[in-house]
Structure 1
Amino acid sequence: MAGVEVVVAHQERATLRVGDLFVKIDADPTRTAVEVEAMALAPVPTPEIRWHRPPVLALAALPGRPLGQLGEPSTASPAAWAAAGAAVRTLHDAPLPPWPGRHLDDLAARLDGECRWLVTNGVLPADLVARNRRVAEAALRPWTPVFMHGDLQTAHVFVEHDEVTGVLDWSEAGPGDALYDLAILTLGHEEHLGDVVAGYGTEVDVDVIRAWWSARSLLTIRWLTEHGFDPAAPGCEIDVLTARK
């Protein structure tokens, strides 16, 4: 029997790998339900569902390798990054999923609350937080909803021979901002933004993508810290904030 590998484990969910099978256990069974429905609707490659017994979801392993990892240089080619951009465009052109999306009204309040926490607890210097909060303001504008993945990290996009073989982790999918997906895909990999945009195939507002880099980093540092991750690791969220001018 193959060994059991713990892929990720924290208070909200755990993912285990046994051979070619990934088993996800989520404290909130609605997230795996969303994931199953989103994968059924998405017009891009997704993992084969072996079985689903809430709150547990078993998925077949994807061929290829992740496009990248936050905090590490990507070894994927520019063509692979462009292919990822093209896959995102295919998703965004699809009909909206039939459940509610994220609300702009809540975002500014959440962002301000996280900024206060970062400064009050001495996690980051006040001027760094204030500078990135100003940058993030450009993301707080009305958008035309698209079918958004919602957590399109490079580790969730698998490629082989410069083609996308599958996209993982659809629990945050729903109607949302197209530029948010492009921002999460390129977070910490700014050098590949041009490749992604070229593959996406239409003009985008790069300033809004940069604004989402700041907003995403400010919003997630507390969660990452409380769930055993290190946002201060080289190339990760705090470095992303430091790079913003």
Structure 2
Amino acid sequence: MESVEVVVAHRECATLRVGDVFLKVDSDQARTDVEVEAMAMAPIPTPEVLWRKPPVLALAALRGTALARLGRPSTASAAAWVAAGAAVRKLHDAPLPPWPGRSLDEIATRLDRECAWLMANDVLPADLVTHNRRIAETALRPWTPAFIHGDLQVAHVFVDGDEITGVLDWTEAARGDALFDLAILTLGHPEHLDDVITGYDTDVDLDVIRAWWSLRCLLAIRWLAGHGFDPAAPGCEIDVLRRATGRCSSP
């Protein structure tokens, strides 16, 4: 009998692995609707949908391993990171999905709220929040919408050697800022930004990517802490914010 592995679990959803099948259980079927439609539209490799019986979505396992993990050095080759950049460019050049993404006003309002919470609850030093918020505001400018993955963490990109074998977790896919995807892909792995940009094969504004690093971390800390994750783990979100001020506590 195959063992059951809990891949990730929190109050909103859980992912289990049984052999070569991933079972995603989500309390919000609208997210699953987006995931299934986005994978069907995406011009890059995605997991095969085996079956769907709400609230469960069954996906075939991808070949290979994750490009990296946040907080750990990547063992993937530079060529694999270049290939990831090329895959992201292919996605961004694809026709837009029919549903909208978050607006600038929504993001700015949430940034206000999360920064106020971080300082009011003494989660982070006020100067650390203020400095990163100032950096983050560079990302809050008009952009030309692209088809974005919306949560392109390194753990969601699978590689086999130098080849991208698939991209997971499309629940946040929408119209959005292309540089957001590039930022999330390289969050915590700035040493591979040049490789990703090489594969992306077009000029990008590095200040905006750095701004999205700060913005994403400021927005994520309360959610992560409330769902059983540790944003203070070495190399993770709080270290990314510290690195932006030149005082990162971990290598």
Whether TM exceeds 0.5 here: the answer is: yes
Shift of 1:82: 0.4
- The amino acid of 1:243's aligned partner reads R
- The amino acid of 2:111's aligned partner reads L
Alignment of 1:209-224 (within 5 A): 209-224=209-224
- The amino acid of 2:201's aligned partner reads G
> Matched residues in 1 for 2:88 and 2:94: separation?
10
Aligned partner of 1:168 in structure 2 is 168
Query: What whole-Å deviation, never above 9, does each CA across 1:178-233 have from its counterpart, x for those lacking one?
Result: 00000000000000000000000000001000000000000000000000000000
> Matched residues in 2 for 1:42 and 1:33: separation?
14
Shift of 1:53: 1.6
> Matched residues in 2 for 1:100 and 1:55: separation?
24
- Larger mean Cα displacement after TM superposition, 16-25 or 97-106: 97-106
**Contact 1:91–1:148 (8 Å) recurs in 2:** yes
> Matched residues in 2 for 1:2 and 1:53: separation?
21
- The amino acid of 2:23's aligned partner reads V
> Matched residues in 1 for 2:113 and 2:141: separation?
19
Displacement over 6 Å in runs of 4+: none
**Contact 2:22–2:58 (8 Å) recurs in 1:** yes
**Contact 2:77–2:161 (8 Å) recurs in 1:** no
Alignment of 1:115-194 (within 5 A): 115-194=115-194
Aligned partner of 2:197 in structure 1 is 197
> Matched residues in 1 for 2:208 and 2:163: separation?
27
Q: Secondary structure at the match of 1:136?
A: helix
> Matched residues in 2 for 1:116 and 1:95: separation?
37
Q: What residue ranges of structure 1 are gaps of 5+ in the alignment? A: none
> Matched residues in 1 for 2:213 and 2:6: separation?
28
Shift of 1:54: 2.2
> Matched residues in 2 for 1:78 and 1:125: separation?
36
> Matched residues in 2 for 1:109 and 1:176: separation?
17
**Contact 1:34–1:170 (8 Å) recurs in 2:** yes
Shift of 1:106: 1.2
- Give the fraction of aligned pairs with identical amino acids, expressed as a percent: 73
> Matched residues in 2 for 1:236 and 1:101: separation?
26
> Matched residues in 2 for 1:93 and 1:243: separation?
32
**Contact 1:33–1:54 (8 Å) recurs in 2:** no
> Matched residues in 2 for 1:238 and 1:92: separation?
29
> Matched residues in 2 for 1:208 and 1:52: separation?
38
Q: Secondary structure at the match of 1:51?
A: strand
- The amino acid of 1:205's aligned partner reads D
> Matched residues in 1 for 2:53 and 2:96: separation?
26
**Contact 1:93–1:146 (8 Å) recurs in 2:** yes
Alignment of 1:1-245 (within 5 A): 1-245=1-245
> Matched residues in 1 for 2:38 and 2:55: separation?
16
Q: What residue ranges of structure 2 are gaps of 5+ in the alignment? A: 246-251
Shift of 1:61: 0.3
Q: CA RMSD, aligned part only? A: 0.5
Q: Secondary structure at the match of 2:8?
A: strand
